[in-house]
């Protein structure tokens, strides 16, 4: 099969990659559409040290199953959670397996991704795509799910002050999801041309270099993956 992978610092097209075999509880998925996100570009640049098949945003069809998987998934059109964690782990048992330090991440960390004709993922990670959504709409499930997940794990009493750092798709989605939840939300980025949508939604926005580190934010959400921005976030959030 064909696959796009990162190997030894280079991004390569392998026209004769081996087709993966689904393990216990896994599905073999035929990719019908894959999206290219900021994280994939970070892998290509070497900012994320992934080796192997790239890609994490997908829509696909389940073709085969590994031992123990429910046959009802055969033929299903699916999207999926890209984080693969040990379900017996402490964070997974609290519903926070996506944050497990030892997790694997599809196409980003220790797990071959979806920039291939076929790939595998645990059936427990899959979600069926409703017929009302076409593949172009469904491929955005992963970044939208990330934004919704963030809103569900943030619990503030009263009207909270939330900063979203970034001007990529994930940041814009987080801003859109968090703003209606009785919060004061601001978006900080480095590309003013990306602020147009925040302006349209009535969300405050500023260039990140114009903001002081006053330690007055209840929550700071970093959507860039940048170590520099994590350091800035620590200076913005309340002690």
DSSP, residue by residue, 185-221: EEEEES-GGGGHHHHHHT-EEEEGGG----S-BSEEE
DSSP symbols for 69-101: --GGGTT-EEEE--EE--TTSHHHHTT-GGG-T
Q: Is the pLDDT of residue 127 over 90?
A: yes
| Residues 215 and 238 sit within 8 Å (Cβ to Cβ) | yes
pTM of the entire predicted model? 0.83
Q: Look at 172 and 77; give whichever has higher pLDDT.
A: 77
pLDDT category of residue 17 using cuts at 50, 70 and 90: very high
Place of tokens 């520099």: 228
Task: Please give the average per-residue pLDDT across 164-188, as a whole number.
Answer: 86
pLDDT, residue 126, reads 97
Q: Is the pLDDT of residue 97 over 80?
A: no
Helix pair angle (169-178, 141-153), 10° resolution: 40
Neighbour count for residue 29 (Cβ, 10 Å): 29
| Residues 185 and 178 sit within 8 Å (Cβ to Cβ) | yes
Q: Look at 9 and 119; give whichever has higher pLDDT.
A: 119
Averaged confidence pLDDT in the chain: 90
Q: Is the pLDDT of residue 95 over 90?
A: no
Closest alpha carbon to 30 in 54, 55, 64, 4:
64
Between the two ends of the chain, the Cα-to-Cα distance in Å is: 51
Task: Please give the average per-residue pLDDT across 119-145, as a whole number.
Answer: 95
Can you list the domains of the chain with their CATH numbers? 3-139 (3.90.180.10), 146-236 (3.40.50.720)
pLDDT category of residue 59 using cuts at 50, 70 and 90: very high
Six-digit token pair at 23? 């393990």
């Amino acid at each position: 099969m064909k696959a796009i992978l990162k190997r030894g610092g280079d991004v390569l097209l392998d026209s004769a990659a081996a087709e993966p075999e689904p393990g216990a509880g896994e599905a073999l998925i035929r990719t019908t559409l894959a999206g290219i996100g900021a994280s994939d570009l970070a892998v290509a640049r070497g900012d994320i040290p992934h080796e192997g098949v790239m890609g994490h945003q997908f829509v696909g069809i389940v073709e085969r199953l590994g031992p123990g998987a429910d046959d009802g998934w055969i033929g299903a059109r699916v999207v999926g959670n890209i984080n693969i964690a040990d379900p017996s782990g402490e964070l997974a048992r609290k519903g926070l397996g996506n944050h497990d330090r030892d997790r694997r991440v599809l196409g980003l960390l220790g797990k071959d991704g979806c920039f291939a004709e076929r790939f595998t993922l645990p059936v427990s990670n899959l979600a069926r795509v409703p017929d009302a959504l076409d593949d172009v709409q469904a491929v955005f499930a992963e970044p939208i799910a990330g934004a919704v997940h963030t809103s569900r794990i943030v619990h503030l009493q009263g009207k909270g002050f939330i900063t979203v750092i970034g001007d990529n798709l994930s940041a814009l989605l987080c801003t859109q999801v968090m703003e209606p939840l009785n919060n004061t939300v601001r978006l900080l980025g480095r590309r003013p041309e990306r602020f147009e949508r925040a302006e349209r939604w009535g969300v405050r926005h500023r260039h990140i270099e114009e903001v002081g580190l006053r330690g007055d934010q209840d929550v700071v959400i970093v959507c860039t993956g940048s170590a520099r921005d994590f350091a800035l976030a620590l200076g913005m959030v309340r002690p």
